[in-house]
Amino acid sequence: MNFTLCSSSPELRYPYVDALRSTDIHAIASKPSLRIDNAVKKDIVQLSNQDAGKMVMSSNLMPRHLKEPFVGKEQPDEQSQKLKFVRTLLIDNYDSYTYNIYQELSVINGLPPVVVRNDEWTWGDFYHYLYEENAFDSVVISPGPGSPTCPADIGICLRLLQECWDIPILGVCLGHQALGYVHGAKVVHAYEPIHGRLSEIEHDGCELFHDIPSGKDSGFKVVRYHSLVIDAETLPKELIPIAWTVSTGALSFHHTQKSDVPADASADSFSTNLKNGSSWPLSCSNGVQRRKVLMGIMHSTRPHYGLQFHPESVASCHGRQIFRNFREITEDYWKRLKPSIIKQRRFHYAARMQVPHANGLFTEIPGHRKVVNGADDQLYKEASSSGQLMLDKRCFGAFDMVNVSNPIIGVKYLKLKWRKFDHLAGQVGGARNIFCELFGHHKAENTFWLDSSSTEKGRARFSFMGGRGGSLWKQVTFRLSDESDMASKGGGYLSVEDSQGSATKTFLEDGFLDFLKKELLLFHYEEKDYEGLPFEFYGGYIGYIGYNLKVECGMVSNRHKSRTPDACFFFADNLLVIDHYNDDVYIMSLHEEFTTTSTPWLDITEEKLLSLQASIKKDREERAIQALRSFPDKGGFVADRSRDDYIKDIEKCLEYIKDGESYELCLTTQIRKRIGEIDSLGLYLHLREKNPAPYAAWLNFSGENLSICCSSPERFLRLDRNGILEAKPIKGTIARGTTQEEDERRKRQLQYSEKDQAENLMIVDLLRNDLGRVSDPGSVHVPNFMDVESYATVHTMVSTIRGKKRADVNAIDCVRAAFPGGSMTGAPKLRSMELLDSLESSSRGIYSGSIGFFSYNHTFDLNIVIRTIVIHEGEASIGAGGAIVALSNPEDEYDEMILKTSAPAKAVMEFT
């Protein structure tokens, strides 16, 4: 079906004038008072061409080598006047997919865009950089929660679309709706919310869809995340429809991968007329006419485009080609201008990847903005000497690295010594026996065990264990203040107990993550100390980060205060490591250089290890039965929320999703039981036997009367010594079958569940976004997508996302970019957490947080705290929940939540 109004005539689309960007522009907006600093700091970073050549980019799921340089001086060819790279301003509507667009634009444009949130700049700022400094060639408006009719949701974007008629603009999802709304179209509820599902797209062949197939079975399938749509009947004459769904139905990802599964059967269509004279397809289904959904629009006289779907999604086809086409549109637009206008845009500025500001990666200083610019020292000198633009660091905001190049106070020069015992673990009874005999005495007080109790199929390989250590050992405990919001930067109280038992308490104005960041930056070490070791933890901080530390990662506040500390870590200077693949045992000891050359702990531990016999393994289960209790309690667990209340909360979530406030909400609750005094290590050993997991953990902070028995199957985030980040979110869970036939049937049921695929896809895109904030442009990819993994009690759907860490960020920056794990929040993350805080009746505490390590050499590995028993002051609590999406059934969601509590709750009931 052809749309005759979509003309390729440049006169129709780009009415340019000779005096474009001259004083005539003041007819659009009066010159604002600008808030631009005169001083430009020199500590700005730019990717070198040498580094750029090492970048890789993602092509749908997997990366390939990047051919285009990321940065360089803009030098248009005098003959063609084409741009060597395109400078894009990316407006973030507080979405969790913005940095997927960022990554795509970085690859396509040859230069990372600058990202600013929709309320971060005044119109004066935009006017200055767009018109006075000519800093950008195009603008992209991101998706986001809410509606363009709500000023708080859309921010400055409506004014940009209204007044920047002479700049190429692409709006995605919310940006698409804003383009329609600003010109008079109505934004209404869709026939049904579509989130994380795919549709086949037909288009009219205009430039934005150049070289992209069209229509049913063409291979052009895209991912949709929206509850609202532009009412096509209300399109004004200046807006032209350029794309629409082939049929009213949406598809799951695996549905689109199976050629023998038909697409939507209701593909017959006919036409009616819109008020602007264009034709609009309708479809018939069961005798009822349903309007197909508008998926793309363009302005008839401005270089403005909108897409309702998400081209940046990992499962969208031809998404990169769409961004490439938008670059071509931008180049062609500026090519049509007179050479004098182009030359005005030639200055030595390369817009560098930004770092989230007010509520993003690095906590904002109140009243102060932050973003990273990009230019090396030479570029800075050239630009400043010629009076050319360098974007204000106050407005764009650079994250302030702690300068520890020559620190004076608190520096620790660390030395590592270690010994290896080949094939020893099995000879002395395995990990369980080693831990119990070396660290399990005296109620295993102040001990840790990152326990890969499920190592089959390569899920995990190493276990790390230890207890109170040597001179460097300490315990740090952090509690957020009652006024833990962004205004106070999430400050709180830090208690530190050292190896001598001395305790101090201080207030951390900047919060715990900043403290941990500065601590790690104070360690000096030599890489040769750990050469040859196959694992990534050589000593350092080991413990947990509670869910409430989300206030240090972008959230404004916590509604509920945690009963347990918000973070608790040991600094482990002595530890034992088991390699489950090779059955090897390592013992390791850290000390400060020049302080000692003796290794008493290594000597003592080696003697204990070699004296162990497998036959002396104690039956902890039998021992646990005799454990003392303050009182016998045969009662069951009590839930924080009743079944009816939880289902009502699910229904509220569905309303939020229908209204476009969220795509997915991970609603949770907790069950609790008084257990009195108990052998908590014995309980953990029972849990690991009944429900082994690759990211299991035992932590005992005896001074806090706190033990954590974790059997988590989910990795949150890892950073290895090669700078590779990896996340492995789980979304989609089903109980194992009682027979092999039933088990296989349930596994297939999960694999092809449209709801579970939608859940998983949304979180994969969210994690791609989070890693994209701190990864090299083009390096984020998905090597494993929607794999089904089987555990003792459940099947789960797991995906793997990886990226290469940028050189200008550190380990804590990476955690801050992604915490809390998206599988426990939903998307968009910030808005979803706000909604969940309003629904949930108590703090999640440790549940939904992360357990793991931060090695002194800046590697880390953290899990997601699920399937976990938290024992605190005589009470056992277990958190559980599930992702609520548009396809959710409240009764089924409640049953899934109960399923997730069953293994740890059963372990407690059997043990007590």
In sequence order, what DSSP letters do the residues of 735-747 get, joined into one string? EPPSSHHHHHHHH
Residue that the structure tokens 């474009």 belong to: 20
pLDDT in tens, 333-381: 998 875 555 555 544 333 333 333 333 333 322 222 223 233 333 332 3
From residue 262, how far is each of 203, 217, 255 by CA, in Å?
A: 21, 9, 8
Task: Please tell me the predicted confidence (pLDDT) of residue 335.
Answer: 87
Contact yes or no for 775/809 (Cβ under 8 A): no
pLDDT of amino acid 442? 87
If one counts every other C-beta atom within 10 angstroms of the C-beta of residue 254, the result is 14
Give ∠ CA 768-360-368 in degrees, rounded to 5: 155
Assess contact for 835 and 661: CB atoms under 8 A: yes
Q: Where are the beta strands (DSSP E) in 729-780?
A: 730-735
The one-character DSSP state at 775 is B
Q: Which residues, in sequence order, are CB contacts of 268 under 8 Å at separation 6+? A: 283, 284
Give Cβ neighbours of residue 850 (< 8 Å, ≥ 6 apart): 544, 545, 716, 717, 815, 819, 820, 821, 862, 863, 864, 865
First to last CA, the chain: 70
Residues belonging to the active site: 173, 310, 312
- Rg for the chain, CA atoms, rounded: 29
Residue with tokens 């080991």: 542
Which ranges of the chain have pLDDT less than 50?
A: 1-60, 62-79, 258-289, 346-408, 484-488, 615-633
- Give the count of alpha carbons within 13 A of 31, CB side only: 6
**Sign of the dihedral defined by the CA atoms of residues 36, 41, 45, 49, in that order:** positive
Structure tokens at 191: 């026939």
Q: For tokens 């083009």, what's the residue?
A: 778
| Residue-wise pLDDT tens digits, 569-599 | 999 999 999 999 999 999 999 999 877 667 8
C-alpha distances (whole Å) from 518 to each of 354, 404, 550, 812 are 22, 9, 19, 9
Max CA separation in the chain (angstroms): 90
Convert the pLDDT of each residue in 254-313 to its tens digit: 655 543 333 332 223 323 344 443 334 433 333 334 568 999 999 999 999 999 999 999
